[in-house]
Amino acid sequence: MRRYRPFILLGLAGVIAFSTSSMVYRWLRAQAFASQAVVESPIKTEEIAVASYNIPRGATITPEMLKTAALPTESLPEGCFKSAELQTLVGRVATMDVVQNEPLLQAKLAPVDGSGGVAAILDPNKRAMSVAVDDEVGVAGFVKPSDRVDLFATLETEDEDRGVVTKLVLANTLVLAIGTEMIRTGKDEEAKPVKVITLEVTPEEAEKLAYASTRGKFRLALRSPLTKDDILTSGATIDTLLNSYNEGPERGQGAKPGASVQLIKGKDVTLVAF
């Protein structure tokens, strides 16, 4: 019996090795099938409406502005429009800028029963008012819709001491739209295109804007989008303009320079001006 013991042990080792390798092989095969199933499982997508090119704020949507794109169903944004709802978007007005390939959302469109154009994006408590400008007044064409501007008016006052005054009359005013109008400057002259800027103002600001545009001259100043605070000013006159960058406060108050001498009395020294 001792003579067959090595062969018995060798056979048991072979059986154990075969069983172990079979188990490992079956486990690896199962893992391979599982990973293959995960890779090959398709991702569910759905066609939704997106912008075929940039749509500016206040624009009326046309069929050329729309196209569809497939997005994962689980990642669809709230308020998007499915491909079957594409025609319902035609005629709607964008209340915000929509960039190319961006999904069109209900939150970025004016209500269906609302009016289009500038009226759709206008604050209910404000008014849209247009003024004719040239390149000098309109910041050389750098102003565009959604920018904010300050308006400075130059008027001749009834106060003889002040004369002509330039004053900041509107601050942080939203530009709604920019366009052109045909305006006739003379009776026999042909109408010429003039740039028109439409601003969003309150009724009180509309009165100031109308007065400034008919009574005197005005200028627009483009604001940085980071500028939030408004600065109070007292207006610029000929005196404040000429007193800019003076040497001292006495000169700045309009006093004329005069002669002065030192009066020495004992240990006291006094400066006497004439």
Check residue 93 and report its DSSP letter: B
My answer on whether 64 and 84 are in the same domain is: yes
Q: Are 133 and 231 contained in the same domain?
A: yes
Q: What pLDDT, on a 0 to 100 scale, did the predictor assign at position 103?
A: 94
Quote the strand ranges of 29-72, DSSP E.
Answer: 45-51, 66-72
Residues sharing a CB contact under 8 Å with residue 125, sequence separation 6 or more, in sequence order? 202
Same domain, 111 and 204: no
- Domain residues for the domain of 71 are 45-118
Q: Name the band, by pLDDT with cuts 50, 70 and 90, for residue 203.
A: very high
State how many domains the chain has: 2
Residues 65-94 have a mean pLDDT of 90
pTM, rounded to two decimals = 0.55
Give the residue with greater pLDDT, 110 vs 40: 110
Token pair of 109, please? 């469109």
pLDDT of residue 251: 44
Would residue 168 count as lying in a domain? yes
Higher pLDDT, 71 or 180: 71
* Whole-number Cα distances in Å, 10 to 7, 15, 16, 240: 5, 9, 10, 112
pLDDT at position 52 is 93
- Whether residue 135 is found in the same domain as residue 228: yes
